[in-house]
Amino acid sequence: MSMPARQLRTQEVVRRRRSAPTRTEERVAYLFLLPWFAGLLFFLAIPLVYALYISMTDKRLISAGREHFVGLENYVYMFTQDGFFYHSLYITLKWIFLTTPLFLAAGLLLSLLLNQKYFGMNVFRTILYIPAVVSGVAVAVLWLQLLNPEFGAVNYVLIKLGVDNPPYWLADPQWAMPAVGLMGLWGVGGMAIIYLAGLQNIPPHLYEAATIDGAGAWGKFRHVTLPMLSPTIFFLLLNAVIDALLIFGPLFVLTLRGSEGLGGPDDSLLFYMVYLYDVAFDQGFMGYGTALAWILTIIGVIMVLIMLRAERHFVFYESEE
Amino acid sequence: MAQPTEQKPIRAPRFPRLPRLAHAVLVYALLILASLFILLPVGWMLTAALKPDTAPVFTFPPEWFPTKYWTWQTFHDALFKEKFIRYGANSAFLVVMNVIGVVLSSSLIAFPFARLRFRGKNVLFTFLVATMLLPAPVLLIPQFLLFYRIGWYGTYYPLWVPAFAGNAFFIFLMRQYMRSIPIELDEAARVDGAGYWTIYWRIMMPLCIPVLTVAAVFQFMWTWNDFFGPLIYLDDPEKFTVALAIATMVQRVGTEWNEVMAANLLVMLTVLIVYFFAQDKLIGGIANVGIKG
């Protein structure tokens, strides 16, 4: 007996949903959003405005009296007199340009191997993903020992392979960055897993069509796999570049040894964030450190914009066709 | 395999015309090589960790797998003498607070974006997405100074309170997930007299458990592995987290390296165990959020 009444009410509900939001619904929505608004205000808006201000002051961590407003002096100093700024930027960009293509390619190769339909692939997948899960600091603690020039396992393997004078790795300005790169290569399985997801989303019929068209293995890779995988590659590239700009923890472990100080031998590992940390938290120049952070952000935004522009030419989205 | 997906086996491109056997051998050889590259260092770490204080940690040639020594005492020392049980508890506290904070607040914030109508919804959502791209380094120092000013330096507050304001990435993820849940469920509940809170808490939350798990596991890994936050905010060694403690231990003069490796192994194992249990859910999670063309 209650059926008609129930239907009526359901219809009412449906009709109501199409009309303008009710006062209650709106009030409830904003109530739910309250924690977000609070976070935006306290952890975003206020710090952001404050960051603009302190980057234009001589704010110190521990200072007698208030900071002074110095206008753009920090920025002028950075660009005209601060050799470390340019050096750290150079180190960071060098790292990005040298290692990102390497990591992206190694990850892709690994994912192609993992995508083969053989027995035991799950085991390999799990093993190769291990380094991506554990913390960068823990990995660096391990590699600090593996890269030990005298007793390290890396040099032992190199000697066994017939290298007479294996490098001093982290103690040698020439070899410090390759050493970090080798450590980075250890974690490339993380990328491989994301590639793998991309590979498995490629519809099989494309490969079938390519076979019918007479494409060989390389042809299929070049004309099916690569274009279909390009959104994944782009996503990984974007992430890799941003991560590389912000790399810090592992370097802290690898370089802050004894009297060497942050930055490694001859500052060969003075990445941007390492320098920023050193300026702001070790030396206590908060104002200048914030100015450095703004410039890093601007560099990051420019790089992202460049990549987004390039995306149009290199990335293929299925929906376009 | 947890869920029987109806996926056809995919024919991936093969390497240039190799006989089937040669192809298999090549694939396995390369994968075993890559796995050795991962596992040998881990084996070396375990070997070092199992050595007693009297045995040399560094040998030439290196020992890849424990053969001579099986001294579990080192682990005991790492936990109790080097107090990693304490640091682990500190990290665990931060993990719990961050996971609770981020899961509760992010789902709460995602709910109106997925289900309610209000003015400014589209603008706010665009803004939310924009904040995902926000520069962390710029906020670092001002946040530090503000927390410093209100007396939070040296406490755990800066390391977990912000989690209760939600995480843009998870909000986005949860909103997408909630939108895939049929709206009829809400309507039926409303007909039965349920309010918005009941719909959120009693209907959405239980259905969202998969996506909540993804968020919780990610947050666990981030918090457990976080280094920069503890480094700048904590000054009392009693309050150190595992990542900070291990980095500090490495830099100390006269460190027992077998204990460092034991501690390091424990730090890695914790997160690995959690990962293994959540593996299937996670990879799908990463893939789904990551690659939305």
- Same-domain pairing of B140 and B251: yes
| pLDDT at residue B13, rounded to an integer | 53
Which residue is associated with the tokens 């060989």?
A216
Q: Note which residues in 67-106 of chain B have CB less than 8 A from chain A.
A: 105
Helix (H) or strand (E) run with residue A291 in it: helix A286-314
Tell me whether residue B32 is in a domain: yes
Q: Which residues of B touch A113 (CB under 8 A)?
A: 27, 30-31, 34
- Same-domain pairing of B53 and B136: no
Q: Does the distance separating the beta carbons of B225 and A135 come in below 8 Å?
A: yes
- Same-domain pairing of B59 and B141: no
**Helices A121-133 and A83-114, interaxial angle, to 10°?**
160
pLDDT at residue A259 is higher than 70:
no
A216, B16 contact by CB (below 8 A): yes
- State the DSSP string of A186-247: HTTHHHHHHHHHHHHTS-HHHHHHHHHTT--HHHHIIIIIHHHHHHHHHHHHHHHHHHHHH-
- State the DSSP string of B45-85: HHHHHTS-TTS-S--SSPP-S-SS---THHHHIIIIIS-HH
Quote the CA–CA distance of B47 and B92 in Å, as a whole number.
27
- State how many domains chain B has: 2
Taking the CA atoms of residue A40, residue A44, residue A49 and residue A54 in that order, the dihedral angle to the nearest 10 degrees is 150
Q: Which residues of A touch B272 (CB under 8 A)?
A: 130, 133-134
| pLDDT at residue B11, rounded to an integer | 56
- Same-domain pairing of B150 and B47: no
Choose among A113, A224, A249: nearest Cβ to B227: A249
pLDDT band at B4 (very low <50, low <70, confident <90, very high): very low
What's the predicted TM-score (pTM) here?
Answer: 0.86
B31, A136 contact by CB (below 8 A): no
Tens of pLDDT, residue by residue over B230-281, are 999 999 999 999 999 999 988 887 778 889 999 999 999 999 998 888 877 7
Whole-number mean pLDDT of chain B? 86
Q: Which residues of B touch A231 (CB under 8 A)?
A: 291, 293
| pLDDT at residue A260, rounded to an integer | 59
Q: Which two tokens stand for residue A211?
A: 């076979």
Which residue is associated with the tokens 């976080």?
B226
Quote the CA–CA distance of A138 and B266 in Å, as a whole number.
10
Q: Which two tokens stand for residue A193?
A: 């897993």
Tens of pLDDT, residue by residue over B109-151, are 999 999 999 999 999 999 998 888 776 788 989 999 999 989 9
pLDDT above 90 coverage of chain A, percent: 51
Quote the CA–CA distance of B156 and B142 in Å, as a whole number.
17
Tell me whether residue B268 is in a domain: yes
Of the residues B16, B39, B71, the one at which a domain ends: B71
Determine the structural domain holding residue B56 and report its residue range.
Answer: 26-71
- Same-domain pairing of B101 and B66: no
| Residue A144 half-sphere exposure toward CB, CA atoms < 13 A | 25
- Same-domain pairing of B32 and B88: no
- Same-domain pairing of B206 and B105: yes
Q: What angle do CA B215, A198, A111 make, to 5 degrees?
A: 100
Which CATH architecture does the domain made up of A81-320 adopt?
Orthogonal Bundle (1.10)
Q: Does the distance separating the beta carbons of A252 and B231 come in below 8 Å?
A: yes
Q: Which residues of B touch A189 (CB under 8 A)?
A: 38
Q: Which residues of A touch B11 (CB under 8 A)?
A: 204, 207-208
Choose among B116, B146, B264: nearest Cβ to A142: B264
- Same-domain pairing of B200 and B283: yes
Tell me whether 0.95 is exceeded by the ipTM.
no
Q: What SS3 class is residue A60?
A: strand
Q: Which two tokens stand for residue B231?
A: 């480094």
Is B56 exposed, middle or buried (CB count within 10 Å of its CB: 0-12, 13-18, 19+)?
exposed
Q: How far is A77 from chain B (nearest CA, A)?
A: 19
Q: How many CB pairs under 8 A join A and B?
A: 290
Q: Which residues of A touch B94 (CB under 8 A)?
A: none
Quote the CA–CA distance of A118 and A130 in Å, as a whole number.
21
Name the residue of chain A whose CA is nearest to B59's CA: A151
- Tell me the torsion sign for CA atoms A201, A202, A203, A208: negative
Quote the CA–CA distance of A53 and B57 in Å, as a whole number.
51
| pLDDT at residue A201, rounded to an integer | 87
Tell me whether residue B183 is in a domain: yes
- Same-domain pairing of B181 and B233: yes
Q: Does the distance separating the beta carbons of B11 and A146 come in below 8 Å?
A: no
Q: Which residues of B touch A273 (CB under 8 A)?
A: 137
Q: Does the distance separating the beta carbons of B138 and A14 come in below 8 Å?
A: no
Q: Does the distance separating the beta carbons of B45 and A142 come in below 8 Å?
A: yes
Tens of pLDDT, residue by residue over A74-90, are 999 999 999 999 999 99
- Same-domain pairing of B97 and B62: no
- Same-domain pairing of B115 and B255: yes
Q: Does the distance separating the beta carbons of A25 and B118 come in below 8 Å?
A: yes
Name the residue of chain B whose CA is nearest to A293's CA: B138
- State the DSSP string of B195-259: -HHHIIIIIIHHHTHHHHHHHHHHHHHHHHH--HHHHHH---GGG--HHHHHHHHHHSTT--HHH
Name the residue of chain B whose CA is nearest to A186's CA: B38
Q: Does the distance separating the beta carbons of B34 and A124 come in below 8 Å?
A: yes
Return the domain boundaries, chain A.
81-320
If we measure between CA atoms, which residue out of B176, B174, B175, B289 comes closest to residue A235? Answer: B289
- Same-domain pairing of B124 and B221: yes
B133, A304 contact by CB (below 8 A): yes
